[in-house]
C-alpha cells in the first residue's frame, strides 16, 4: 500500500507498492483536518496531471498563494514533512521519492550517501525506508522553520539536540504507531512511515514558505551538460539529462534509480551545493555546513550554471545567484539538492 493517498492533491504520485502490507488507513484529508483544518483545501488542490504532463507544468499565470515555493507548481501551502530516507543498496528501491517536492542527497560516515525528502504539495500514503538522523539535520531543516522531521534512530546526543530544537522530531522510537515494517528487505532497511500519522504528531508544523528558490525561464549562458556525478567514495549519484522527458534522470551507484512504483527518479532542477564537511561531535560523521556561502552548480534544461549559494543563518533562505548578480531561476518541478564536499 505504498501508493499515493486518494486525495485529489496526490494525483500522479507513486502507486501500489508491493513492499507495504495492506492495511486500513486514515484518509489524508482527515489527517490534515487534525493538523490545521485543511481537509477542504486539500480536497480542492488541483491534480498536477491536470496541467498537461507528469511534472505538472504550471500555467503561465497563477496565484502565488497557491504555488509551491519548493517546486513553482500549483499547490496548497500544506505543513512541511521532512523524512530521512535510506539509500543503502539493500534499501532500494525507495517508496514515494517521486512524490516529494525536494529530494536531497547527503554524505554520511564511510563515504556512503543518505537521502532526505521534503513533502508539502501532496503526501503519499507510505514512504521510506526511513532511517536515522544526523547532527547537521537540525540546522539544515530549520530552513523550513518548524517542520515535522521523521526519522528512525540517532545518537543520544543527536536525539537530545532534536528535542531541544524547534523541529517536530517524529522518531520511530517515540511514535512507533506512525510506522510499520514490511516488504522484502531485511531490517533495518524495511521501515516505512505514514504521512497522515506522522503529521498528527506535529499539529503545528510550519506550512510551506519561501526558502530562497526562484522559478522562471532558462537564463542565458550555461554550459551544455549531459551528465554530472557526485562521488562520496562509497556511493555515487549521477544525473543524466533526458531531452525526451525534459528532466535529469538519477542513477545510484551506476544503476538507474527507480521507485517501488516502477517510475524512474529524476528532477527538473538539480543543485550541487559545495560546502565544508568537518567531523561532527562524534568525530565520525560529516557535519554538512548549510549556513555560509560557496559555489553551487545548478543543472536545468541540459545545461550547467555556476552560481553562488548563501545562507546567513539557520532560519534564513538559501539564495543561488548568477555571476551577473541575478537570482538563478529553477525549472518548475521536483528539485534535487546534492551536497558535495569542497
Q: Give me 176's grid cell.
A: 512507533
Phi, psi of 264 (to 5 degrees): -70, 135
Model pTM? 0.83
Place of cell 536531497: 104
User: How far is CA 295 from each of CA 25, 65, 153, 271, rounded to the nearest angstrom?
Assistant: 44, 31, 32, 10
CA dist 32 and 51 (Å) reads 24
CA dist 196 and 193 (Å) reads 9
pLDDT value at residue 183: 83
Dihedral sign from CA coordinates of 108, 332, 257, 132: positive
CA dist 12 and 129 (Å) reads 21
CA dist 191 and 173 (Å) reads 12
Q: Shortest CA distance to 92 belongs to which of 55, 131, 54?
A: 131
Instruction: Return per-residue pLDDT of the chain as tens, 342 residues.
Output: 443 333 333 333 443 343 443 333 333 333 333 334 333 333 333 222 222 233 333 333 445 669 999 999 999 999 999 999 999 999 999 999 999 999 999 999 999 999 999 999 999 999 999 999 999 999 999 999 999 999 999 999 999 999 999 999 999 999 999 999 998 889 999 999 999 999 999 999 999 999 999 999 999 999 999 999 999 999 999 999 999 999 999 999 999 999 999 999 999 999 999 999 999 999 999 999 999 999 999 999 999 999 999 999 999 999 999 999 999 999 999 999 999 999
| Domains of the chain, earliest start first | 8-200 (3.50.90.10), 223-341 (3.50.90.10)
pLDDT value at residue 42: 35
In this structure, are residues 87 and 93 in contact, taking their beta carbons and an 8 Å threshold? no
Amino acid at each position: 500500500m505504498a501508493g499515493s493517498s486518494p486525495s485529489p492533491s496526490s494525483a500522479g504520485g507513486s502507486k501500489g507498492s508491493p513492499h507495504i502490507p495492506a492495511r486500513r488507513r486514515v484518509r489524508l484529508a482527515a489527517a490534515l483536518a487534525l493538523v490545521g483544518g485543511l481537509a477542504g483545501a486539500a480536497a480542492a488542490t488541483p491534480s498536477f496531471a491536470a496541467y498537461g504532463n507528469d511534472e505538472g507544468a504550471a500555467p503561465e499565470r497563477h496565484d502565488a498563494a497557491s504555488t509551491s515555493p519548493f517546486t513553482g507548481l500549483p499547490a496548497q501551502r500544506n505543513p512541511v514533512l521532512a523524512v530521512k530516507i535510506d539509500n543503502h543498496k539493500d534499501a532500494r528501491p525507495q517508496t514515494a521519492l517521486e512524490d516529494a517536492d525536494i529530494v536531497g542527497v547527503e554524505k554520511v560516515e564511510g563515504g556512503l550517501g543518505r537521502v532526505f525528502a521534503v513533502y508539502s504539495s501532496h503526501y503519499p500514503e507510505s514512504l521510506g525506508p526511513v532511517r536515522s538522523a544526523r547532527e547537521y539535520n537540525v540546522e539544515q531543516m530549520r530552513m523550513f522553520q518548524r517542520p515535522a522531521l521523521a526519522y528512525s534512530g540517532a545518537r543520544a546526543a543527536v536525539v537530545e539536540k532534536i528535542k531541544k530544537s524547534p523541529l517536530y522530531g517524529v522518531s520511530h522510537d517515540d511514535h512507533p504507531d506512525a510506522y510499520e515494517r514490511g516488504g522484502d528487505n531485511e531490517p533495518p532497511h524495511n521501515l516505512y512511515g505514514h504521512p497522515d500519522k506522522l503529521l498528527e504528531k506535529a499539529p503545528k508544523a510550519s506550512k510551506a514558505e519561501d526558502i530562497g528558490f526562484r522559478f522562471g525561464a532558462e537564463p542565458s549562458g550555461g554550459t551544455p551538460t549531459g551528465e554530472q556525478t557526485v562521488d562520496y567514495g562509497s556511493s555515487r549519484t549521477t544525473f543524466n539529462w533526458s531531452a525526451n522527458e525534459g528532466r535529469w534522470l538519477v542513477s545510484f551507484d551506476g544503476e538507474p534509480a527507480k521507485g517501488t512504483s516502477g517510475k524512474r527518479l529524476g528532477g527538473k532542477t538539480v543543485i550541487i551545493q559545495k560546502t565544508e564537511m568537518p567531523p561532527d561531535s562524534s568525530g565520525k560523521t560529516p557535519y554538512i555546513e548549510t549556513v555560509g556561502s560557496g559555489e553551487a552548480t545548478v543543472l536545468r534544461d541540459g545545461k550547467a550554471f555556476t552560481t553562488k549559494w548563501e545562507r546567513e543563518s539557520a532560519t534564513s533562505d538559501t539564495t543561488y545567484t548568477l555571476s551577473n548578480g541575478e537570482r538563478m531561476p529553477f525549472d518548475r518541478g521536483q528539485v534535487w539538492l546534492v551536497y558535495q564536499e569542497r
